[in-house]
Amino acid sequence: MTGIIDYNAGNIRSVERALQFLGVEYRISKKPADLEKADRLIFPGVGEAKFAMGELKKTGFDSFIRDHVQAGTPLLGICLGTQIIFDHSQESDTQCLGLIPGEVRLFPAEFRDKGLKVPHMGWNSVHTTNGGCALLEGIPDGTDFYFVHSYYIDPADPSLVIATADYGFPVPCGVKCGSIQAFQFHPEKSAGFGLRILANFTGRNTVC
């Protein structure tokens, strides 16, 4: 069973619709106890880092996520759920979950001088690096995925980066560390190849 973590900061319904399309057994809950027996966890998110961390602590999902990752439960991070698995976010100077060493940084102000908008919003090509990961199997290099973000992940160990997107520089947009695989873009909003990522994660390898 796939557990979807609902901490009042997630793009829950889009993920739910995608899993329904794939025919995946799942459970959404705001209570960690309801997801204790999940075989894998999806950690989605939209919004502001400090609010999200506050909700995780209030619900107990902060320790729940740490414990399950330590135990080796596969975790798929999406967008804000990817950012707050790092040590720290520059957004509201937020201490995050600390599951992966690194910083979440605001796109530089000079981007606007180069004609690049912040947030980085819309479709952009994603390129694998460091061998990619199993969730990207069946997806051609350079496939477009949907992004909405003003902050980007910056792992302390560059070898953890499995995907980048060109937005002024090769922006890290996918990481793998132990049982964690996480993406800055939204697979659930990225049409067929986004569904492929979710299918690969859940073992439903029947989607085109």
Known catalytic residue: 186? yes
Q: How confident is the model at residue 114 (pLDDT cuts 50, 70, 90)?
A: confident
> Among all chains, which residue has been given the structure tokens 């809950």?
29
Domain ranges of the chain: 2-202
Q: Quickly state the pLDDT bin for 205 (edges 50, 70, 90).
A: low
Q: What is the dihedral of CA 147, 63, 36, 7, to 10 degrees?
A: -40
Task: Return d(Cα 125, Cα 134) in angstroms, integer.
Answer: 18
Active-site annotation holder among 55, 68, 79, 133: 79
In this prediction the pTM is: 0.95
Q: How are strands ordered across the β-sheet holding 40-43?
A: 26-29, 2-5, 40-43, 75-78, 180-183, 170-177, 161-166, 120-128, 144-149
pLDDT tier for residue 9 given thresholds of 50, 70 and 90:
confident
Active site residue 79: yes
Res. 204: pLDDT tops 80: no
What mean pLDDT comes out for the span 175-184?
98
DSSP state of 107: P
What is the rounded CA–CA span in Å between residue 165 and residue 170?
5
Which of 177, 198, 178 lies closest to 186 in space, CA to CA? 198
- Which residues are CB-neighbours of 157 under 8 A, at least 6 positions away? 101, 102
pLDDT at 47 > cutoff 60: yes
Residue keyed to tokens 């049409």: 191
Report whether pLDDT(207) > 60.
Answer: no
Both structure tokens of 23: 């025919």
Q: Is the pLDDT of residue 92 over 90?
A: yes
**Average pLDDT for 100-124:** 91
CATH superfamily of 2-202: Class I glutamine amidotransferase (GATase) domain (3.40.50.880)
User: Any bridge partners for residue 20, and if so which?
Assistant: none
What number of residues does the chain have? 208
Over residues 69-84, mean pLDDT: 97
Task: Give yes or no: 133 in active site.
Answer: no
pLDDT at 208 exceeding the cut of 60: no
pLDDT in tens, 127-168: 999 999 999 999 999 999 999 999 999 999 999 999 999 999
